[in-house]
Each structure stands twice: as C-alpha cells, then as structure tokens.
Structure 1
Amino acid sequence: MGPVMRMIVTRPEPDAQASAERLAALGIEPILAPLLTRQNLSARLPPAEGFAALAVTSANALRSLAERPDFTGLLGIPLFAVGDRTAHEARQLGFSEVHAAQGTLDDLATLIALARPDGAVLYPCGKHLSGDLAHALAPQGLMVVTVPVYEMVAETQLPEPLARALSERTCGAVLHYSARTAQIFSALVAPHLPEPERRHLAMLCLSENVAAPLIETHFNRVMLADHPSEEAMMALALAFTREQTGP
C-alpha cells in the first residue's frame, strides 16, 4: 500500500468539516485550513409580505438568515436556490417551497425567469458578490432587492495547518470552492512557495472562475470538477488520488 494522499481544504466552516469527512471516507487525509470566516451583518430586511420569491446563492446566506429574529416570516416565500446543496439546506431550515437550479448564477436567473414570480425577488447575499442577480433578471422585468446579510472575512496570515503542510511538503493537492478563497490562498501562499513548487502542487477547483486567480500566480497544475458541485469535487479528488497512488 502506498502513502496516504493528503489534501488541504480551504473552504469556510461548517462546509470545511463536511468536505473533510467526505475526503476521509474516500481514504484521503484532509487538512483543514479555512481561509474565510462568516460574520453576520446587521442590515434590516424589508417586510417579507412585499416579496413573491426568495433567491439564495449560498448556504451561508441561509445560515445568516436563520440566526436573525425575523427569520420565520420568510419560510412561506417560494425559495429559489442556486443548486441542490443550498436547496437541501433550505429544506432543513423549514422553507416550504424550494426550487433548485443547476449550480450557477445564470442557471438560477433562468429558473426564476421561467417561474415568473408575481412580484419582487428578495436576494439575501454576502457582502462580496461574485455575480449580479438583479442585472441578470432586469431584462425579464423582475425587480430584485439585494440585501447583504453576511460578510466572509479573510484570514490575513497562513493558518498553521496549511503552513506546516506546505513546509513539510506533505500535501498532494488543495481543494478550492470559490474564486475568493483561491485569491486569498494565492496571496498568502505564493510569497512562501517558490515558483517551481507552485507549479507542482495540484489545485482541484470547482470551476474555471475559481481556478483563474491560481493560474495568475503560477499555480499551473490545475484540475477542474466536471460540474460545480461537491459530488464532482469528491470525484475529482478520488481520480487524482488514484492517478498518483494507484488503485
């Protein structure tokens, strides 16, 4: 039996722990190094009665909503989630009508446009938006009220488990789920890792958009998931492991 494959998980908690458990089930040793931490914002939500639909592009938005005193008033609004995982989280929290798109903002905009909600769409989101849902739905004549309800705060120095794994060269790959964590990883790691080593360390990325900041800083050994989902990321991690260590 060859050495155990070790992989760094950069996504925030609690998702980092969930990914770590799935990696461990595949026989891969996870190294947890979240590069972002969720902090709730105190923005007031408009009254729920004014909305025909709720749009959600991340589980973090749902978690922040669930921690607000006015949360239960939202549970009866039809909810449109960016993908299956976010939809599952919404159902767990008690939303009565949940529709799941195929995983991207464009998919979500299409799903909402086809549903033709009879009124405005409430879009609780993060402070750092990667896409503009209001802009995407404007041609359909749909009004989107965008309310940032949380902020993902970046680490300003290398988390100790990540620094140790890099210095000991005991890590085979790094999992990246968002362009922002990829940017933070590049900024924190590139100064400590010579370019030849950057070219060697494998980057397993959710999408091309996620990979872009890594390629810019010469992390050139980039592999993309077949689909922007956790299932596809785990399939990629397993395929990479088998390629390196044999079945």
Structure 2
Amino acid sequence: MTTILVTRPEPDLGHSTVRLRALNLDAVKLPLMRRVTLFHDLPPAEGFGGIAISSANALRALDERGAVRAYENLPVFAVGDGSAREAQFLGFTDVRSANGSFEDLVTLIAESRPTAPIFYPSGSRLSGDLNAALGAHGVGVTRVPVYEMEEAEEVPTAIIEQIRDGLIDAGLFYSRRTAAIFADLTRAALGERGLEDFGALCISRKAAEPLAEAGFKRVLVAERPDEEGMMVLALAFARAQNAS
C-alpha cells in the first residue's frame, strides 16, 4: 500500500487523511504549521460590499472570536470550494467560490463589481497582495490579520527514517510555505536517496518551487489547485508506483 505524508494543519489534516484512506492509501500525519488566532480590532460590517476569504483559517479565527454573526449578511468571496463550504457551515448564505487560486479570487471579486470596499480577514503573512490586485480594478480593501501560523521546528526522526527507507512514498503539500518548511527541515537529513525517491505532490507550481529548489527530484503538481485535484494526484501517483 502506498503511504502518503500529509503536512497541512488541523483540522484540514484530518479531513485529508480520511480522504486518502477512503482511496485505500495509507496516511501519516505531519502538521507543519498550527493556527493561532489574533485579536486585532475588527471593523463594523456596515459599509462593506463583501468579505474576501483566501483561507478557511480566517473563517475559523472569526468563529473562535465569536465574530461571524456580525458579518454573516455580507457576500463571501471564497478562494476555493473548501473555504466556501466552511463559510456555509458557519451560516453565511451568499457564498461565491473562485474555485481556484488567488488570481481567480481577484477575478471573482472584480467581476462582481462591488460598490463598496471589501473586508479581508487574513493570515499575518500573505502570498498575494489583494489590496494592490483589486486596487487596479478600483475596488478598495480593508485587511485585518486574524490569525497566524506557527511553524514546526523539527520533523520527527522516525518520519525522516521512514522516508529514507522508502516506507513513506510521498507527501502532500498545500502551500508554498509548508513546502519550504518541509524542505528546510528534511533535505540535509534525507540524503540523495530520499531526495531521489520521495514524491512531492503539490497543489500548485508555486508550492512546488521550494521542493524543486531543495533538490527533490519527483515533484508533481495537481491539475486543479484544490483538495479534489490533490486526491486525484495522490491516486495517480500510487497507481504509477504500484505499476513500476
């Protein structure tokens, strides 16, 4: 049975693990980041034309602060189906999914032609500048960091050894930052064999870059930048592995 390392934070880590096992793939959990809610002041909902969500973690942080109800009447522009489902679960009724990348989110908001600024609860670190991107379309953005992701400081020796020995065949990488953390923590310890054999299954080309730069040889990118795309990639990898 093919064994896949799952590197995303909880609760998404658990969801992906269940999906992999339903595909008859073994899964090993390695959360490389942990969400911590921040408590900066939040603006009132009045005067906004919608709320932009580039990660479900922003919604979870708002929920942890008991702040969802204040914004539940705003349209939600979600980067993908996962964050859209999270918004619906929390009670938002007007939820629109960009079904893709940060660039797709920008397009979704711009094409909706909001007549008021967009509220953007986000992480403390950003992979894209929504304010600049939407500013080019004449749309204002008010950003408030509502969470940060704490990075793991090490990868357990047992996992390093399992990768080196071929007992963990591949890993799922859902962000550039997670991929970079993994590369930094493992490349020296894995050695040539680990870098050669381990399959790095990435949600996007951007996420794949740190792994390729670190010397990993089997770096693959999902056709779709979402969970469905990652599961298809994992299954295709496993079938190719078993056929060889």
TM-score (norm 2): 0.96
Q: Secondary structure at the match of 1:152?
A: strand
Aligned equivalent of 2:237: 240
Alignment partners' CA distance in 1, 2:31 and 2:68: 27
Q: Alpha-carbon deviations, 1:34-62, whole Å to 9, x = none?
A: 10000001111111113111000111111
- 2:89 match: 92
- Whether the 8 Å contact between 1:33 and 1:161 is mirrored in structure 2 is no
Superposed counterparts of 1:130-209, under 5 Å: 130-159=127-156, 162-166=159-163, 168-209=165-206
Contact 1:31-1:161 at 8 Å conserved across structures: no
Deviation at 1:114, TM superposition (A): 1.1
Note the alpha carbon deviations across 1:121-149, whole angstroms, 9 max, x for none: 00001111111111110011111011110
Q: Stretches of 4+ moved more than 4 A in 1?
A: none
How many Å separate the matches in 2 of 1:151 and 1:195?
A: 34
Cα distance in 2 for residues equivalent to 1:70 and 1:195 = 49
The secondary structure found in structure 2 opposite 1:193 is helix
Gap regions ≥5 residues in structure 2: none
Deviation at 1:169, TM superposition (A): 3.2
- Size of the aligned set, in residue pairs, is 244
2:220 equivalent in structure 1: 223
What is the CA-CA distance between 1:71 and the residue it aligns to? 2.4
CA contact (8 A) 1:56 1:124 kept: yes
Query: What percent of counterpart residues are identical?
Result: 45
Which structure 1 segments of 5+ residues have no match?
Answer: none
Per the alignment, residue 80 of structure 1 pairs with: 77
Pairing 1:7–2:34 present: no
CA distance in 1, matches of 2:78, 2:38: 21
